Structure 1
Amino acid sequence: MNIDWAALGSVFGVSLLATVSLVALFTLGILGLSKQEEAAASGGSAALARSGAYACFALCAAAVSYGIFLIVT
């Protein structure tokens, strides 16, 4: 049995990067929603925080959908 260690390391690296990126993006979305409440309480612009959070969630959904597309095809 022959294992291509370079390919295995490459897959590991890309998987780790994708996982960390998705978690960070989702965390930014949650943070944006929490800042929306703070901004509304202090009289700031809550719409900007909400739209940024929704953009983060949309990017997460797009990345997950693309991953599922790659698995299925």
Structure 2
Amino acid sequence: MHLDWTALGQVTAVSIGVTVAVVVVFALGVLGLARVETVREKDGGTQAVGLAQAGFCFLACATVVAYGIYLIVPQFH
């Protein structure tokens, strides 16, 4: 049996990179929700920036997860 170590290394690097990116984007979404709560407690300002940040980040995470499921499930191809 022959292993293509270069391809295995590339897959590992991309997997780790995407995992870290999704975790960071999700954390930024949580930060956006925290900003909404902070503005709500102070009774001033607009909550739109925090909601937009959270919505965009969570949508990006959901898109990555959906794409991963698409790649795994052969019936979707």
Same fold per TM (> 0.5)? yes
| Residue 62 of structure 2 is aligned to residue 57 of structure 1 | no
* Matched length: 73
Cα offset, 1:41, TM superposition:
2.9
TM-score by length of 2: 0.87
| Partner amino acid, structure 2, of 1:66 | Y
Tell me how far apart the structure 1 counterparts of residues 50 and 23 of structure 2 sit (CA, whole Å).
18
Tell me how far apart the structure 1 counterparts of residues 3 and 25 of structure 2 sit (CA, whole Å).
34
TM-score by length of 1: 0.91
Cα offset, 1:2, TM superposition:
1.2
Cα offset, 1:48, TM superposition:
1.3
Tell me how far apart the structure 1 counterparts of residues 72 and 28 of structure 2 sit (CA, whole Å).
26
Where does the alignment leave 5 or more consecutive residues of structure 1 unmatched?
Answer: none
Where does the alignment leave 5 or more consecutive residues of structure 2 unmatched?
Answer: none
